[in-house]
């Protein structure tokens, strides 16, 4: 179950892409300072960065600035380990296996697998003492999503988790084809839009994949259109799921939701609206948009104004329109969970540092933006920009695109042009969006590891082609037969049993 197919190299993007482009709200009171009585603990801190990985000297300067805060407050120094999206999962695993040093890191949709592999410690008896502020901030409902067998294994990032499927499009092209975005109410309205793009700009690709093997239709599942609870599965490899209020676990690939996605993808593909090699391309979605080759892509985002940062990244006039409303499940919440490694030599200090990532405005903004004046400049109390003549690729240090990955998104600075009201919308929808009746349930797949591995191999063979339209839907019966042979029914039964047990304990 801990193996992932190659087409998931950007494993977090569907979830994470919505987290890339937001930042901050006013800070909260940090924890009280502590007086060191012994040598500071050294905390090795790994995190995913979507930006250029900094040189050693730039990392060292940021570490020094962080340590000036952490040594007085928690008697610990911090070593930063930013990894690229293609390297993160592998590098974290290597650090865990080598024993070289790893104290704090986060999941990427694989919390149950990490727990099954004994990679996170149980912090149930520690959080009240070493991270009480973060516990109060995140709240019991969300902490339950990181709880397995009654043990708390981490703290979900506090961010815009209520993500809505959105069409991210070139505003100038939309205007030129004469379409009012306000008339787009669902994904099915896009067929006519793409037809107009194709007619007016025959050399432009109407829809490009948000990542290899994914043209974004999967995001509809985690919305009020379908209300799918993935029950701990990756968004890209849903196996056994719940749909709506029905508490019977089903094979996702036998559902009407899957067939709807496949049929629509096939229609778009045959009409030439989708990149022909969407199932296999390794090109980044932002590369397509930056080069002016694409009209749009579909992805899930929190809030409504991520386009400001996408425009800055691509140099194109980008806007976005919602295709459905958000739907929260445990997977929405615990996909990015911060925990303390089982190889940590200083677990108490590690948890104290996690607490600072959620509560200390100075610490989190050093991690995200680097050194003020060198890596960024402040515009006002809440907004920043890159120094004159600099950008994300030329400043010595930035992890700005990881603003929704690390700790508390709502105490980070916002980039210039970002509306504070959008952050308020994220917080509102975090608390008021539709929610799965199984919120808080997280599946432990340790009893079906072999079946998951076999099933994922079959998914890897069929799903990229089926969901991008390049494979004929007539192949679905063969796909289902191979899934059955791989053991999917055993996974469905195991989930149903655990879900029933969990339901019996709920008040």
Q: For the domain bounded by 15-160+332-427, which CATH number is listed?
A: 3.40.190.10
Beta strands in 61-190 (DSSP E): 76-83, 104-106, 147-148, 151-152, 155-156, 164-170
Write the DSSP symbol of residue 468.
H
Pairing of strands 434-435, 327-328: parallel
Distance CA 463, CA 279 (A): 9
Tokens of 484: 């059955």
- Cβ-based neighbours of 21, under 8 Å, separated by 6 or more: 301, 306, 308, 309, 310, 401, 403, 415, 418
Distance CA 107, CA 88 (A): 10
Does the model's pTM come out above 0.85? no
Write the DSSP symbol of residue 25.
-
Phi then psi for 67, rounded to 5 degrees?
-65, -30
Distance CA 43, CA 350 (A): 6
- Cβ-based neighbours of 282, under 8 Å, separated by 6 or more: 212
pLDDT by residue for the chain (507 residues), tens only, comes to 333 333 333 333 433 343 333 333 333 333 444 445 689 999 999 999 988 899 999 999 999 999 999 999 999 999 999 998 878 989 999 999 887 789 999 998 888 888 888 999 999 999 999 999 999 999 998 999 999 888 999 999 999 889 999 999 999 999 999 999 999 999 999 999 999 999 999 999 999 998 889 999 999 998 999 999 999 887 778 999 999 999 999 999 999 999 999 999 999 999 999 999 999 998 888 889 999 999 999 998 889 988 887 887 788 999 999 999 999 998 889 989 999 999 999 999 999 999 999 999 999 999 999 999 999 999 999 999 999 999 888 999 999 888 889 999 999 998 887 888 998 899 899 889 999 999 989 888 889 989 999 999 999 999 999 999 999 999 999 999 999 999 999 999 999 999 999 999 887
**CA dihedral angle for residue 88, residue 89, residue 94, residue 99, rounded to 10 degrees:** 90
Distance CA 437, CA 270 (A): 38
Tokens of 252: 């996702």
- Could you tell me if 323 and 298 are in contact, meaning their C-beta atoms sit under 8 angstroms apart? yes
């Amino acid at each position: 179950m801990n193996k992932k197919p190659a087409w998931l190299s950007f494993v977090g993007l569907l979830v994470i892409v919505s987290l890339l482009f937001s930042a901050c709200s006013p800070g909260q009171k940090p924890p009280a300072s502590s007086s060191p009585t012994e040598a500071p603990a050294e905390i090795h801190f790994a995190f995913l960065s979507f930006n250029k990985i900094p040189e050693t000297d730039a990392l060292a300067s940021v570490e020094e600035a962080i340590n000036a805060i952490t040594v007085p407050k928690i008697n610990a120094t911090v070593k930063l380990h930013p990894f690229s999206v293609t390297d993160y999962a592998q590098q974290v695993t290597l650090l865990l296996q080598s024993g070289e040093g790893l104290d704090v890191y986060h999941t990427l949709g694989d919390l149950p697998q990490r727990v099954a592999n004994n990679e996170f410690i149980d912090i149930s008896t520690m959080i009240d003492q070493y991270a009480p502020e973060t516990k109060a901030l995140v709240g019991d409902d969300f902490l339950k999503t990181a709880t397995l067998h009654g043990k708390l294994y981490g703290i979900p990032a506090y961010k815009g988790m209520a993500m809505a499927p959105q069409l991210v499009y070139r505003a100038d092209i939309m205007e030129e084809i004469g379409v009012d975005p306000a008339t787009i109410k669902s994904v099915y309205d896009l067929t006519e839009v793409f037809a107009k793009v194709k007619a007016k700009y025959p050399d432009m690709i109407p829809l490009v994949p948000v990542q290899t093997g994914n043209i974004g239709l999967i995001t509809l599942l985690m919305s009020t259109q379908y209300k799918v609870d993935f029950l701990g599965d990756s968004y890209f490899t849903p196996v056994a799921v719940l749909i709506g209020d029905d508490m019977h676990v089903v094979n996702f690939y036998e559902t009407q939701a899957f067939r709807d996605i496949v049929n629509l993808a096939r229609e778009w593909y045959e009409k030439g609206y989708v990149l022909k090699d969407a199932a296999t391309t390794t090109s980044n979605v932002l590369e397509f948009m930056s080069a002016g080759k694409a009209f749009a892509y579909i992805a899930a985002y929190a809030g409504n104004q991520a386009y400001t940062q996408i425009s800055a990244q691509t140099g194109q006039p980008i806007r976005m329109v919602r295709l459905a409303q958000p739907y929260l499940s445990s997977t929405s919440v615990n996909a990015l969970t911060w925990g303390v490694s089982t190889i940590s030599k200083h677990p108490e200090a590690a948890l104290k540092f996690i607490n600072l990532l959620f509560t200390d405005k100075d610490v989190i903004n050093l991690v995200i933006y680097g050194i003020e004046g060198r890596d960024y400049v402040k515009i006002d109390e809440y907004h920043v920009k890159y120094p004159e003549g600099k950008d994300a690729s030329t400043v010595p240090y930035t992890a700005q695109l990881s603003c929704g990955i690390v700790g508390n998104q709502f105490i980070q600075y916002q980039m210039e042009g970002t509306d504070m009201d959008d952050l308020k919308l994220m917080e509102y929808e975090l608390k008021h969006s539709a929610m799965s009746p199984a919120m808080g349930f997280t599946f432990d797949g340790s009893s079906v590891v072999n079946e998951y591995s076999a099933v994922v191999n079959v998914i890897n063979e069929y799903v990229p082609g089926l969901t991008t339209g390049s494979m004929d839907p007539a192949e679905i019966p063969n796909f289902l037969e191979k899934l059955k042979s791989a053991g999917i029914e055993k996974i469905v039964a195991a989930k149903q049993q655990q879900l029933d047990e969990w339901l019996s304990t709920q008040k």
